[in-house]
Homo-oligomer: A and B are copies of this chain.
Amino acid sequence: MAISSNSTNGCDAAVIPEDRNCQWRVAARPKGNVVLEDFAWVEEPIPRPRDGEVLLQTLYLGLAPVMRMYMLGTGTAGEKPLEIGDVIHGRGTARVMESRHPDYQVGDMVQGQMGWQTYKVSAMTEQEKFFKCPGFSLPYALCAGVLGMTGLSAWAGFIDCGKPRSGETVVISGAAGGVGSLVVQMAKIRGCRVIGIAGGDEKCAFIRDLGCEASIDYKADNVAQKLAELCPQGIDLYFDNVGGEILSTCLEQLAMYGRVVLCGSISEYTRAEPFGLTNYTRLRRVNGSMQGFFVYNHLHQWDEAMTEIATMIHDQGLRPVQDMVDGFENMPEALARLYDGSNVGVQCCRVRGEPQGEALTTDIGGQP
């Protein structure tokens, strides 16, 4: 990783001004993993809200693999394609600093589409998908990840699409990642037998600690052979964060009526040619299914998901693992961590929040 913040592209970490809106914009389309030259640092005056708008100050930003797609200018159903020079899309947690919007007051904590910037004026449109941070007695920092889009992804993919049943053998790839580390724990909570796939000893130890009965190190192990040993009856549910060869290997070992949930395909992001899945016909033999999902298609389930995740944290031992990078100047590095496999848990960046996150002050009665 060649990314470092003390470079020549305009960002001097020592003097990030509080009275300016600092931004990271697309400077170039990434080739392979992102490098610092793909980003441009811009400082602007803090914008002023007009009637119907609020001024938001960024506290935490979440990072997700889709962001490289944004930078490539690829359209996604959720966000508009980016041109060179645009502020990069990114959801995070923010505090309302000034409000001329009837539904928001100064001090309100929200999460939504902030972009990679330290301030934003917003009319809180439907497109930006802002939610007030839930009133659970949990740190606000979580709203950038575990109680944000990453949590919704894990819940929507595993609980809603995967429909896990107690006693099933569940295999999860990218198990130490943002979504993966949550799904491992959700699977355990739902009574499944969990096998995790991750890269390296450290991550494998981490996912076993999270609840995996066994781990497979895809960098060192023969994945097919280990799966066959660990899942002699086949895989009931495979939660796929990586696509490519590991998806193909798991398809080959699906149990009768086995299901695959396609969540992500991180292995595809930096590949020159897309992977060709030749054994899709395997689904026929075992009456298997492969179900994809996109988190933006599940926004209507936001409240249900957040409530269940908070319950899992409070009552069922779910550990919110967030890999927190400190400092907005380090956003490019934080993003690169996703593609070189550095992150453990949900990758976030503390922009202006407290180092340990900020406790929510409202603990709504009757809710977890």
CB proximity of A79 to chain B, nearest CB, Å: 13
- Segment among A43-51, A167-175, A211-219, A269-277 that sits at the interface with chain B: A269-277
Q: Does A290 contact B (CB under 8 A)?
A: yes
Docked complex Cα distance between A280 and B276 (Å): 9
Is B297 a contact of A293 with CB atoms below 8 Å? Answer: no
Q: State whether the Cβ of A201 lies closer than 8 Å to any Cβ in chain B.
A: no
CB < 8 Å: which of B77, B243, B268, B289 contacts A289?
B289
Indicate if the CB atoms of A290 and B297 lie closer than 8 Å. Answer: no
**B287:A289 contact, CB within 8 angstroms:** no
- Establish whether residues B293 and A284, one from each chain, have CB atoms under 8 Å apart when the complex forms: yes
From B161, B278, B285, B289, give the contact of A276 (CB < 8 A): B278
Q: When chains A and B are docked, how far (Å) is the Cα of A247 from the Cα of B280?
A: 11
Contact bitstring A248-268, B, C-beta under 8 A = 1, else 0: 000000001000001111001
Residues of B within 8 Å of A297, CB to CB, are 256, 286-287
Whole-angstrom distance between the alpha carbons of A294 and B268 in the complex? 30
Contacts of A276 in B (CB 8 A): 275-278
Q: Is A288's CB within 8 Å of the partner chain B?
A: yes
Distance in Å: Cβ of A68 to nearest Cβ of chain B: 14
Among B76, B277, B291, contact of A277 (Cβ-Cβ < 8 Å): B277
Residue pair B275, A278 in contact (C-beta under 8 Å): yes
A77: which B residues are within 8 A, CB to CB? Answer: 285
| Chain B min CB distance to A49 (Å) | 34
Known contacts A275-B278, A277-B277, A278-B274, A290 near B294 by CB under 8 Å: no
Q: Which of B256, B291, B292 contacts A285 (CB 8 A)?
A: B292
Please report the C-alpha to C-alpha distance between residue A276 and residue B248 in the assembled complex, in whole angstroms. Answer: 11
Is A283 a contact partner of B287 (Cβ separation < 8 A)?
no
Q: Smallest CB-CB separation from A274: which chain B residue?
A: B278
Answer whether residue A6 sits at the interface, using C-beta atoms and an 8 A cutoff.
no
Inter-chain contact A290/B287, CB cutoff 8 Å: no
**Closest beta carbon of chain B to A317's beta carbon, Å:** 30
Contacts of A289 in B (CB 8 A): 289-292
Taking the closest CB of chain B, its distance from the CB of A72, in whole angstroms, is 15
Which single residue of chain B is at the shortest CB-CB distance from A156?
A: B287
Whether B281 pairs with A265 at a CB distance below 8 angstroms is: yes
For residue A282, CB closer than 8 A to chain B, the reply is: yes
Whole-angstrom distance from the CB of A334 to the nearest CB of chain B?
Answer: 24
Question: Please, which residues of chain B bring their CB within 8 A of the CB of A292?
Answer: 280-289
Q: From residue A247, how far is it (CB to closest CB) to chain B in Å?
A: 8
What's the nearest-Cβ distance from chain B to residue A90, in Å?
20
> Which A residues between 55 and 95 are near B, CB-CB below 8 angstroms?
76-77
Which residues does chain B contribute within 8 Å of A76, judged by CB atoms?
285
Contact pick for A283, options B279, B282, B284, B290, CB 8 Å: B290
C-alpha gap A96/B290 in the complex (Å): 44
Instruction: Look across to chain B and name the residue whose beta carbon is closest to the beta carbon of A290.
Output: B290
**Bound-complex Cα distance A265 to B282 (A):** 11
Contacts of A274 in B (CB 8 A): 278-279, 281
A residues near B (Cβ < 8 Å) are 76-77, 161, 243, 247, 256, 262-265, 268, 274-294, 297
Given known contacts A265-B281, A280-B292, A283-B291, what 12 new A-B pairs fall within 8 Å (CB)? A76-B285, A161-B287, A268-B281, A274-B278, A274-B281, A276-B278, A283-B292, A284-B292, A287-B293, A288-B292, A289-B291, A289-B292
